[in-house]
Amino acid sequence: MRDSSAQGWPFLVARGRHRGYRTLLAPGFLIAERGHGVLDDSVVPSPHQDRATVIEVLTGAGRRLTVVYATHLVTSADIAEPGAPPAAQEPRDQHSRPLQLIYGFVCLDGVAGEPDQEDLRVCGQASLRAYRRFLRDEEGFVVEPSEDFPLRSPVAGRASAPAQVSRVDGYHDYVRPPFRRGAVLVTAGVLLVVAILAIVWLTRPQPRVECDTSEQKIVSASQRPTVTPSGPCLREGRSKVQGMAGP
């Protein structure tokens, strides 16, 4: 059933002239949980300008979110200060690549159907304001909390187990858990510990094995006992046999 009171929180993932892609604007509750990194882990640039894509993500705290996002190519007019004319050249990063914004909104409930363009417009404006502040001080910029707003997009209650589907062009086309850098680091640490333990076990000193003299065989009274040692005691066994031999 559609929820007419659903709220959305704008977010922005973008790169600057010197810094790579990072989350610049996110819901306050995600920042408080230190879970806003799930956004730049999950969204990817699209070749289709300002076309909505819907995904579901799972935060490190176990919170399930619906993320609606689009890609926008930054223009000189986008980053011009209010009242100032835009620059003659379009903005580029230090490697002469065009700047892109991945913007949209986060919803605590599932979005059913095509997202409303007005919601994306509201998020785009909030994202550009945050992006201009970021460009003024890329090194010192800290992710900003966004304010929620009432959604026009159709929102329905979330199903208990969302279907897993593959990415295709269009809206509501991709559902997957986020890539978690923390989980990858933990897994790598476990594998490293296992490898170290295996090396220690393989290189540990072997216990001394005493020769078993019960295998001595006497063929005749004139023949001295002989021992056929094996394993680690081979050299010691030979010295004993040589000591027993007569001239």
Q: Domain extents for the chain?
A: 7-178, 214-241
pLDDT band at 64 (very low <50, low <70, confident <90, very high): very high
Per-residue buried b or exposed e for 129-146, using 16+ beta carbons within 10 Å of the residue's own CB? ebbeebbeeeeebebbeb
Q: Three-state SS for 64? A: strand
Check whether 89 has a pLDDT greater than 60.
yes
Which pTM was predicted? Answer: 0.64
pLDDT band at 11 (very low <50, low <70, confident <90, very high): very high
Highest mean pLDDT of the ranges 50-54, 165-169, 212-216:
50-54
Arithmetic mean of pLDDT, 204-233: 52
The pLDDT, as a whole number, for residue 186 is 60
pLDDT tens profile 103-148: 999 999 888 789 999 999 999 999 999 999 999 999 999 999 999 9
Length reported for the chain: 247
SS3 content of the chain, % helix, strand, coil (to 5): 30, 20, 50
pLDDT tens profile 15-51: 999 999 999 999 999 999 999 999 999 999 999 999 9
CA angle 32, 35, 36 (to 5 degrees): 90
The pLDDT, as a whole number, for residue 31 is 96
The pLDDT, as a whole number, for residue 195 is 76
Check whether 228 has a pLDDT greater than 70.
no
The pLDDT, as a whole number, for residue 160 is 47
pLDDT band at 172 (very low <50, low <70, confident <90, very high): very low
